[in-house]
């Protein structure tokens, strides 16, 4: 790792302001992710959660502040350049190639990697080990999969980059309770393989229960920051954001 091993941070977002068309949605967001951490972002709609994720990937115009990954500043770099730094991103919507098969979607995840056929085969096999149902449906078109299965494909394709950091934007949105639980279990499993995870999630109670740390955003600003368990047990957080 090229980062400072003393602070162990793989990602640092430092007081960023930015948005689209000159209109700021982010108004001084700061957060960090350490190696092997699961960090969750929660907050009301319009608080800047997804925009924060997009800012890391070069999809938002950052007016000021900085984003540092593994000791290198990546603020406002092109998206294709950022993916070369081993950052995997799974957006909430339009995150699979519907007309392609499961196997072809995974192959697309390795588009910028120089791999022999043997390496590519092994990489895909590792994804099938994490998501066994995908192996059974590898020749099936993604458009014919269930919502939970498509989310497996999307996460699997991001993992084809062999990322050090995986960004997940609402990975359980619209899923049944069964698939929500499955996706959360897989997030924990992927993290145990050594991948740091930054996740935006509306199922806040469930996500906070296994998050190492979490941030609450409101109106493009940091509102609260603590361990997942502390935020989950906070009466104030419960009343404001968890429906408790």
Q: How many CA atoms lie within 13 A of 92 on its CB side?
A: 15
103-154 per-position pLDDT tens digit: 999 999 887 665 544 488 889 999 999 999 999 999 999 989 999 999 999 9
- The pLDDT of residue 237 is 84
pTM: 0.91
Helix, strand or coil, per DSSP, at residue 133: helix
Residue 54 has pLDDT above 50, yes or no: yes
Taking residue 157's Cβ as centre, other Cβ atoms within 10 Å add up to 25
Are residues 106 and 160 in contact, defined by beta-carbon separation less than 8 angstroms?
yes
Bridge partners of 226, per DSSP, are 214
Residue 1 has pLDDT above 60, yes or no: no
Residues with Cβ within 8 Å of residue 24, at least 6 apart in sequence: 17, 18, 63, 220
Closest-CA residue to 175 (of 103, 92, 244, 100): 92
Query: In the chain, what are the domains?
Result: 1-86+163-244 (3.40.50.300), 94-162 (no CATH)
């Amino acid at each position: 790792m090229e980062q400072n091993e003393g602070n162990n941070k793989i990602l640092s977002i430092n007081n960023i302001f930015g948005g689209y068309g000159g209109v700021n949605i982010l108004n001084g967001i700061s957060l960090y992710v350490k190696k092997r951490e699961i960090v969750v972002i929660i907050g009301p709609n319009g608080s800047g959660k997804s925009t924060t994720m997009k800012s890391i990937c070069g999809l938002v115009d950052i007016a000021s502040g900085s984003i540092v990954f593994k000791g290198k500043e990546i603020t406002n770099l092109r998206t294709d350049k950022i993916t070369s730094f081993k950052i995997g991103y799974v957006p909430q919507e339009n995150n699979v190639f519907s007309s392609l098969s499961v196997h072809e979607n995974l192959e697309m995840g390795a588009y910028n990697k120089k791999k022999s056929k043997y390496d590519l085969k092994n990489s895909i096999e590792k994804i099938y080990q994490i998501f066994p149902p995908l192996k059974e449906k590898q020749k099936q078109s993604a458009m014919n999969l269930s919502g939970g299965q498509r989310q497996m494909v999307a996460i699997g394709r991001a993992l084809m980059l062999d990322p050090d950091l995986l960004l997940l934007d609402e990975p359980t949105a619209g899923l049944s309770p069964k698939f929500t639980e499955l996706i959360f279990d897989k997030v924990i499993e992927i993290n145990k393989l050594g991948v740091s995870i930054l996740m935006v999630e509306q199922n806040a109670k469930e996500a906070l229960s296994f998050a190492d740390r979490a941030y609450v955003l409101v109106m493009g600003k940091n509102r609260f920051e603590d361990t997942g368990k502390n935020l989950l047990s906070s009466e104030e957080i419960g009343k404001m954001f968890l429906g408790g």
